[in-house]
Structure formats: structure tokens, C-alpha cells
Structure 1
């Protein structure tokens, strides 16, 4: 992605793997999506095998197994996320050996998925279950988030075909700005509100965060309104190798800070900045963009080394423990998003979670 361009969040479609026929349904959905992206037969065939392998594993061995599929046109990738509620994989190293499978599958086994996918990561915990993410692409890699690892899941409410949440991300120099919007309610009207928010953000994503929030507020006045959070990560200290970020309010020590996180917003978009030794909440003021908001204020805190920044809509519970995701702090952020969705979704609204981790500097 061109530096300064805006990455618009993708939407996942969920396929509960409660019947063998759902594997074929997911495979057909994936095939149509990548055909629209211009993939050739060989790459589409690789994807079909991965969908079949992962879907069959979920259907045969998992409790409440779900596959989430998303086309990511800006990066040219297709993403498959698998989530289940148990029983977990007793010997993950054995399961990952190429050719190992407990049944007859086309691949065969998770080792084949790792071989066929351009990226594959998996985490299993007994008895809570397993989460995995696979990404495939047909061409050379496109870095849409320079300097960052970003994992995100965006799901419509049950029985809805569009998602009332939206998110977008833009990078310029050492700064990355994220906007998340949760349109009131769910369905098409909520989706119009969140789309208006991300469109307004994309027009000027690098300005003062207060001005960004005001611009979004104005853009939403013809919609039903939305909860909104605009958050900026500045990695200038990480790049320069110093630690001036410790001077911000509500910060960690100078010795461990590698950047700053600043945010403003209105409504119930919440999140956390956390590492193995640090945990601070991201909470915005009351109000609804497009209807009524107070004069925006900005809260800043230091970004510790090896930290994650998590933002989510109220489709996830506000209170959650970091313990279940602590082993994943340095893994693919999508695994963190998958665990949070699995363990804390409310199951009655749109649900979006975005997880960001700065890349380690050489």
C-alpha cells in the first residue's frame, strides 16, 4: 500500500462447521471471492484445499467450530480464521507434521495447510479450544501496514448480511491512525453510519485527532449516528531508539516506553494497551457521533515495548482478562482477536476487534 493511503477494514463471513455440507459451502464462497480478485486456477486450487482441510478438521473434531472467511483486496490476500471451543489439540507439534492426520483428508493434515498457505499460525489450549489463521495470496506480498502487524475480525450481527461496524487505518511516517465506528443498532442503516465515518476519516486521516472526530461527527449527522474512536500510535521513539514517550500522562517508565498512544472519541468503543507487565484501558467520553458529542479531548499514554493495542466494538464484552491471550502477545495479532471473539462475544450484535503490534526493529 502506498504510504499515506488508507486501509479499509475487511468483513468476515462466518461458516459454522456443524455439518459436512458446510465445508463445501465455505469452499464455494472462497472460490467466488478469489475469482472476483482475479486469481488463477492454481492459486484458487491451493485455497480450496486449505478450506477443505481446515473445515473438515473443524467438522470432525471440534466443538462449536467456525470458519471465518474474508477477502482482503488491498493486500491481495484471502484470510481463513478457524475458531472452536474445544477440546484442543493435545500434541500440536505432532499435528503439524506434514502428512499427519487422524482421518482421510485431501491435504493431508495441518502440515499440508502450513505448506499450502503463505502464512499459517495456530494456538491450542486444553480444554478451551484452538484458533488458527491462514492467509493465501496469488501474487507478491503487499505491505499494507508498514511497521505494524495488524489482525482484525469484523462480523455482522446474527442473521445480518452487512456489518454495522467499520474500521480504517492510515500510516504516515512514524504515525499510524486508526478509526473504529459502531453504527447504532445493526443492519443496513448502522452500516451506512459506519461507512460514512470511515469515508470521512479517509479524506484527512493524519490531522489532529480532535479535528478528525469533529469531521466524522459532521459526516454522520445525516445518519443514525455511531460510537467512534480515533486512535494514533506514534513510533518515533521506537524508530529513533530513545524513550521520550515516558513524559506522557498515564505512562509507563522511560526505560520501557517505545512510543505513544493518543486517542479521542465518543461512545462505547473501548480497548486496551497491554504487554506482559502493562495494562491500561482505552475509554472514550459519552456521546454519539452525528447526534451529540462534547468538545473532544485527547488522552495519551506511553506504548511499552512488545505491547499490543486492542480496540473493539460493544459486540464484545467490555471486561476481559488478559491471561488467556498472554501467551499470544508476540504471535500473529489475529490469534488474539480470535480468542477475544471466541471468549467474549455477546452473540447479538455486530462484533469488531482490531489488534495492532509494532514490528520489532532490526
Structure 2
């Protein structure tokens, strides 16, 4: 799996708009998008930037990354007033600020995949994915799982020391979330080697996988990591972690992901590649299609709460990860938020 981190573009005010649009155009061109496809990307980014200018006084942030060399993902984040009826605002001609009212509808039309989360008092998150060539959505889902991540380097860095990997085999999904020690290229090297070691034998017991990684990355500066294995056949999730990768397993209750029905993902002290406990073991919990797994590095604040966001679990997994990044990122380190769930 070719993991790419997101590039972050901050728009504190309208003076940054042209710079951001120019830089994202160059990125789309570097991904091999045709001139017509670059034009579609320009429309999406222009409408996102326009929305930020119209509806927020604090500006916002745009995240962009390549999707396995076939497409591009663009996420727009703001902490504006939010919307009571996001679906209605996508209708052409509807506007809350007296304009032509074409923004969200234009973004959706230009996107191959689109999603939105907005709530009064909780801002708005827009997700757009566009693919090269003649894109045709599959009539049947190819995967039993939906896994997405928002991964952003420390401000001022180009390399990201956080990493993740995922492998799906039939009814089983194998995941790892990683944080290389420190940040920058050396941290990226450590977490990349750990991800490769994981992919070489992911189907072992999570604790055994971590022991294998520990022995495989001794020449690096080291990494922390948590391994999870979700099995629909066994209706269970097994997991084990070393270091400060944290997270939760949520169960949905009505329109909310509630802390009351969550289980914390706890990890053992240590650093893979340097020092780990003499003994550590895998933990097991039940799993079904109403569960949601969140794993994150310490770039996210340790105390976060998503119980106030109505129907967030119904949104794309990238939206969930992006919301956690937007509202709880420390902005002092690399940040990874990994979200996984199974599908019926």
C-alpha cells in the first residue's frame, strides 16, 4: 500500500487564496492529471476557497494527497458557523449569503466521490476525490472494510514520521498505526521500515507482529506502533500496541458515537527497535458492523471527544479522521488519525 501523507494549505485570510490555488494546480499536474482534469481540480479548489472566504472569519485549511497514483483527495476544513441543512445547500440557486448559490453543487458535480459534514456551531468539512482517465464506480463494493487516514507532517516539515498500513484478506482486515521517534526524514525512515515489516507478515497475532517489527527496525531510530486485526468471521477485534499510539473502539448509539460505549486502546511502554517489555500480549474485544475503530499518534491531543457531532458515523471515514484532526490536533508534531470500520 503506497501511503502518502496530506499536504496542508492554511488560508488564514483571502490574501492566500491565489497562492493556494496555484500550488494545488501544480500538484495536480505533477500527479499526471490532463489539462481538462486539472481544470476540474481548479473548479473544486476555487469553490472551496470561495466558501471559506464567504462563511468564515477565521479562514480554514485544505488538505490534499495523491490516491495510489490514480487520483487526488481534497479535504476542506473550517470552524465557521456550520449549516443546519447541508443537503439543501448543495442545490443550485440556494445561498445563505445572497450569492448565486452554486458552490457546493459545483464541487459535487466535479467530484467522482463527494461527502460533507456540517453542523450548527461545529463548522463544515468537505471531501472531494477525483480520478484520472475514464472513472467508473464499481457496481459492487470490492472491500468489506472502509479504512481512511488523515496524516499531516509537523508544521514546517516535508517528511512525515507517522505512518500506517492496511491489508485486507477476505473477511479479515490487518492494520498498523505508527509514529517514528521524533520527526523529519529519520522518523519517516523508521516508520516506513516498520510498515514494511508489518506487511511482510500481518496475519500473525498482533503481539507477535510487534515482536517481528521490533527485530526488523533495530538499525533505525525506532518507532511506536499499534497493530489491530478485525475479523468478521470471528466477530472480534484483536490488538496490541507498544508506545503512545492511542485510540478507541466506538459503538454507535442512535445518531452519536458515545464515550459511554467506547473502549480505550491501551499500549505497553517501550519503543520498537530499541526496548520493549519482556512480555506483552494481545487483547480481544467483540466486533460488528456498528463498531468504529480510531487510532492516532500523539500529534492528536490525548483528550478528545466526538460525542457532540450528530450522525458523524454516517459520513465517509476520511471526514471522521479530518474532523478529529481539525478539532484536536496539537500542531507541534506529525499527526496521524486512522479510522476503520466494516461494511455489511
1:103 Cα shift? 6.8
In 2: Cα distance, 1:332 partner to 1:138 partner: 21
**Which position in structure 1 is the counterpart of 2:258?**
none
Q: Which residue does the alignment assign to 1:202?
A: 199
Tell me which residue corresponds to 1:130.
124
Q: Secondary structure at the match of 1:11?
A: coil
CA contact (8 A) 2:13 2:59 kept: no
The alpha carbon displacement at 1:137 in A equals 0.9
Among 259, 269, 272, the residue aligned to 1:289: 272
Conserved? CA contact 1:120–1:135, under 8 Å:
yes
What pairs up with 1:348-359 in 2 under 5 angstroms?
348-359=332-343
Question: SS of 2:339's equivalent?
Answer: strand
The equivalent position to 1:343 in structure 2, one of 322, 327, 342, is: 327
Q: Distance in 1 between matches of 2:304 and 2:310?
A: 12
- Could you say if the C-alpha distance between residues 103 and 141 of structure 1 is closer, same or farther in structure 2, counting changes exceeding 3 Å? same
1:153 counterpart = 2:150: yes
Q: Secondary structure at the match of 1:25?
A: helix
1:216 aligns with 2:213: yes
Separation in 1, partners of 2:304, 2:4: 24
Q: Alignment length, in residue pairs? A: 331
Aligned alpha-carbon RMSD (Å): 2.2
Kindly indicate whether the alpha-carbon contact (under 8 Å) linking 1:275 and 1:329 is maintained by their aligned counterparts in 2.
no
Residues 291-330 of structure 1 aligned to structure 2 (within 5 Å): 291-294=274-277, 295-330=279-314
CA contact (8 A) 1:266 1:286 kept: yes
List alignment gaps of at least 5 residues for structure 1.
1-6, 238-258
- The one-character-per-residue Cα deviations of 1:83-122 (angstroms, maximum 9, x if unpaired) are 11122235434421124454768x9311111111111111
Structure 1 residues 71 and 267: CA distance shift in structure 2, 3 A: same
Task: Note the 1:244-283 alignment, pairs <5 A.
Answer: 259-277=235-253, 278-283=261-266
The Cα offsets for residues 104-154 of structure 1, whole Å up to 9 and x where unpaired, read as: 68x931111111111111111222211121111124358897111222100
TM-score, L = length of structure 1: 0.85
Alignment of 1:34-49 (within 5 A): 34-49=28-43
The SS at the match of 1:287 is coil
Contact persistence 2:205–2:282 (CA under 8 A)? no
- What TM-score does the superposition give when structure 2 sets the normalisation length? 0.89
Task: Quote the residue 1:16 is aligned against.
Answer: 10
Would the alpha carbon gap of residues 175 and 347 (structure 1) be closer, same or farther in structure 2, given more than 3 Å must change? Answer: same
Q: What residue is the counterpart of 1:240 in the other structure? A: none
Q: Residues 156, 145 of structure 1: CA spacing in aligned structure 2 closer, same or farther, 3 A cutoff?
A: farther
Question: Per-residue displacement from partner, 1:193-231 (whole Å, max 9, x unpaired)?
Answer: 111111212222223323321221122211211111111
> Would the alpha carbon gap of residues 91 and 263 (structure 1) be closer, same or farther in structure 2, given more than 3 Å must change?
closer
8 Å CA contact retained: 1:99, 1:111: no
Q: CA deviation at 1:328?
A: 1.1
SS of alignment partner, residue 304 of structure 1: coil
Matches within 5 A, 1:166-205: 166-205=163-202
Q: Using the TM superposition, name which of 95-104 and 118-127 deviates more.
A: 95-104
8 Å contact kept, 1:227–1:269: yes
